[in-house]
């Protein structure tokens, strides 16, 4: 079976998962002056020489419909997973038009490419939707029927993508699904996402490479799971008889503040909070050193305060449930970054 995927963090876990199941995996990578395949290098047949085995890479871009038609026509995949996006919410306020082009219209380009190649009846299509669709939440917890209220250019672009997937499903009978995934993290998370920023900074502090780092809204609450668990849910959605949309979440809520505290606890430090709002600091109880400060530049113009998913439908219909706990996730991320920074302090 052939399958196509885009995007690196989830894409690397999904590629691993599918290769283990015997798939031939085709990935789309953007051309870059520097190598951008670090998270999938271990999946090459020969990682040193970048020789491909059952994972094959194609240069392409979600903003280029011609290349998408060419690749899909050449590969003729049985499953397509669209994980490609400008996925940083804060940055989407600065790159709003680009985010709309890639995350919104890019999804349409992929769907149109399937149609152009005459594969509507043979392809199954997975769209990476997001809990950011719920934004200013209309009910707690959020499930498949909860009204959307996106609070960023990213959320708004993903909203278009969500509905265009539904439209292709209903208009052309394409097997297309939206996975509304709540936050899912891992040691492969990009360095400028809050969870990875915390684990990297805590690792550097532990190794004496850093004294202090800054964060934005400490009281933002999220439903955090592990990317490895969530890619299994993506696959399961494409193995059902009828295409349906699913919320994937742990149902547990933790604050950014709590993520900071647990990360420091893992390296033997207790963080005590002092001050209010932008003047708040996180001080080490053992040494008296300030390790965390708040900087308003990391706040979003419109904040998403609280996300909690209800994945009852996925648990019942897909028999899916998360395996990695919040504590295990935090520990894995901190341990991986301690190892990374120990080997390369400039990583």
Positions marked active-site? 130, 132, 154
C-alpha to C-alpha distance for 285 and 292, rounded to whole angstroms: 13
Q: List CB contacts of 35: < 8 A, sequence separation 6 or more.
A: none
Whether the upstream peptide bond of residue 197 has omega within 30° of 0, thus cis, is: no
CA distance 213 to 282: 10
Closest Cα partner for 131 from 81, 89, 175, 73?
89
State the Cα–Cα distance between residues 172 and 164, nearest whole angstrom: 12
Q: What is the pairing mode between strands 55-59 and 225-226?
A: unpaired
Q: Report which of 117, 223, 107, 224 is spatially closest to residue 176, judged by C-alpha positions.
A: 107
Of 29, 157, 150, give the one whose Cα is nearest residue 97. Answer: 157
CA distance to 52, 116, 221, 272, per residue, from 282 (Å): 47, 55, 18, 6
């Amino acid at each position: 079976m052939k399958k196509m995927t885009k995007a690196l963090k989830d894409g690397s876990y999904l590629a691993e998962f599918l290769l283990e199941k015997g798939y031939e995996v085709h990935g789309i990578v953007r051309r870059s002056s520097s190598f951008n395949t670090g998270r999938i290098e271990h999946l090459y047949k020969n990682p040193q020489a970048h020789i491909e085995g059952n994972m094959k890479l194609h240069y392409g871009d979600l903003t280029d419909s011609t290349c998408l038609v060419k690749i899909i026509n050449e590969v003729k995949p049985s499953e397509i997973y669209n994980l490609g996006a400008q996925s940083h919410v804060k940055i989407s306020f600065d790159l709003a038009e680009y985010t709309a082009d890639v995350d919104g219209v890019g999804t349409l380009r992929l769907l149109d490419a399937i149609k152009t190649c005459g594969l509507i009846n043979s392809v199954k299509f997975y769209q990476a939707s997001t809990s950011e669709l719920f934004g200013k939440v209309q009910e707690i917890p959020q499930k498949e029927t909860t009204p959307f209220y996106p609070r960023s250019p990213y959320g708004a672009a993903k909203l278009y993508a969500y509905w265009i997937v539904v439209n292709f499903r209903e208009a052309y009978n394409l097997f297309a699904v939206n996975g509304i995934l709540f936050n899912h993290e891992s040691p492969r998370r990009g360095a400028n996402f809050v969870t990875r920023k915390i684990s990297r900074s805590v690792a550097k502090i532990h190794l004496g490479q850093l004294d202090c780092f800054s964060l934005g809204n400490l009281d933002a609450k999220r439903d955090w799971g592990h990317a490895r668990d969530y890619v299994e849910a993506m696959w399961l959605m494409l193995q059902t008889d009828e295409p349906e949309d699913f919320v994937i979440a742990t149902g547990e809520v933790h604050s950014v503040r709590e993520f900071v505290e647990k990360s420091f606890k893992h390296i033997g430090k207790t963080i005590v909070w002092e001050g209010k709002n932008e003047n708040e600091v996180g001080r080490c109880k053992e040494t008296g050193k300030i390790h965390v400060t708040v900087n308003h530049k990391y706040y979003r113009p419109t904040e998403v305060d609280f996300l909690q998913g209800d994945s009852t439908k996925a648990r019942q219909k897909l028999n899916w449930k998360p395996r990695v706990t919040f504590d295990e996730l935090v520990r894995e991320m901190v341990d991986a970054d301690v190892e990374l920074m120990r080997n390369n302090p400039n990583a």
